């Protein structure tokens, strides 16, 4: 997923897990998702704390901010400068930043410095916004399959009946795999990657169900609570893709809403479709077996207190579905 998002943003193909661009950007993303969790730092609630010295108790957020600043110089600027040099030399691969640098109406009125500053931020936001949430959703997908083998079997049956056993999905197959689409909707509801939505601001005085909300008030939507609303989702803790076979069941607002709704939601949905369908087409996920052959049921628990949600590490087994599938895997990874 990191490689895909880097190519989308910069037109750059990562050279592996030790690639300096990847190492620095991954670390910056980790700092960002920790800092973005509203409850992690008192300064988010009491802004006046910014004026107190860093050595006081409870001021650890200042060290985090300094660490972020140190990584930001490299993680934002260097990949952007690489793309900029590729565009200047005429060697640039297609990318979002490349399109802006070649001339776009959104940047035509900006000074060079303003454009550089904004595009550096845009590149990182594309990478961070698309990588952390999508990878967390894939971890949650594995957990769901391990804990619900009947769902996995039903999904694999649909894939086999539509695609056969020797092919991987294409995006054009999406409409032919309705159960897979329901599975992805249920995955996003069952373990939303962004359980507490990004903060919004109330731009005018308002009243909601008798509550007065003043202009300028910070509003945070509780996506987790919405996905557990029993009026919309019967037995909300149960992973049940079949619920979405009923067209009256709404998709959970996991991509946000209003003007700050995720601009990459269609890309994210299509990427998850291809990744999840490919995994289901080729692998079977199951509970790990103990020394006496007994199944060990993992405990699926929320991970660290950061703005994105992913299960803690858990043990499981996975294997190719057959020798034919094993050969297919070898062919596509060669």
* Binding-site residue set: 262
Q: Report how far Cα 303 is from the mean position of its chain's Cα atoms.
A: 14
Residues annotated within the binding site for heme are: 262
Give the span between the Cα atoms of 240 and 251, in whole angstroms. Answer: 13
- C-alpha distances (whole Å) from 281 to each of 121, 139, 167, 284, 293 are 37, 17, 8, 8, 26
User: N- to C-terminal Cα distance for the chain?
Assistant: 18
b/e burial code for range 50-65 (CB count within 10 A of at least 16 → b): eeeeeeeeebebbeeb
Give the span between the Cα atoms of 173 and 157, in whole angstroms. Answer: 15
Q: 3-class SS at 31?
A: helix
Q: Where are the alpha helices (DSSP H) in the chain?
A: 2-10, 20-35, 60-89, 96-101, 112-147, 149-163, 178-190, 223-227, 265-282, 323-333
CA angle 141, 279, 95 (to 5 degrees): 90
């Amino acid at each position: 997923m990191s490689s895909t998002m880097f190519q989308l943003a910069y037109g750059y193909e990562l050279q592996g897990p030790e690639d300096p661009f990847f190492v620095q950007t991954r670390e910056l993303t980790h700092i960002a998702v920790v800092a973005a969790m509203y409850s992690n730092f008192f300064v988010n609630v009491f802004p006046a704390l910014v004026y107190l010295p860093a050595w006081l108790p409870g001021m650890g957020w200042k060290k985090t901010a300094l660490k972020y600043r140190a990584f930001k110089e490299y993680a934002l600027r260097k990949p952007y400068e690489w793309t900029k040099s590729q565009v200047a030399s005429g060697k640039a691969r297609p990318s979002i930043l490349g399109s802006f640098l070649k001339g776009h109406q959104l940047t035509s009125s900006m000074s060079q410095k303003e454009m550089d500053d904004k595009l550096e931020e845009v590149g990182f936001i594309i990478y961070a916004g698309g990588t952390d949430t999508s990878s967390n959703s894939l971890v949650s997908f594995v957990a769901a399959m391990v804990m619900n083998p009947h769902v996995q079997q039903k999904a694999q049956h649909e894939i086999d009946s539509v695609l056969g056993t020797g092919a991987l999905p294409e995006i054009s197959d999406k409409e032919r795999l309705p159960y897979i689409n329901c599975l992805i909707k249920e995955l996003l509801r069952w373990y939303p990657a962004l359980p507490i939505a990004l903060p919004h601001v109330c731009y005018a005085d308002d009243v909601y169900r008798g509550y007065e909300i003043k202009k300028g008030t910070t509003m945070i939507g509780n996506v987790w609570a919405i996905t557990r609303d029993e009026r919309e989702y019967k037995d909300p803790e149960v992973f049940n893709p079949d619920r979405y076979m009923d067209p009256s069941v709404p998709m959970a607002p996991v991509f946000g809403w209003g003007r700050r709704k995720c601009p990459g939601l269609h890309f994210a949905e299509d990427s998850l479709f291809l990744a999840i369908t490919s995994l289901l087409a080729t692998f079977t996920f199951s509970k790990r077996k103990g020394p006496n052959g007994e199944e060990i049921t993992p405990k699926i628990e929320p991970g660290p207190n950061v703005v994105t949600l992913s299960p803690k590490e858990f043990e499981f087994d996975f294997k190719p579905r057959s020798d034919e599938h094993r050969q297919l895997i070898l062919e596509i990874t060669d």
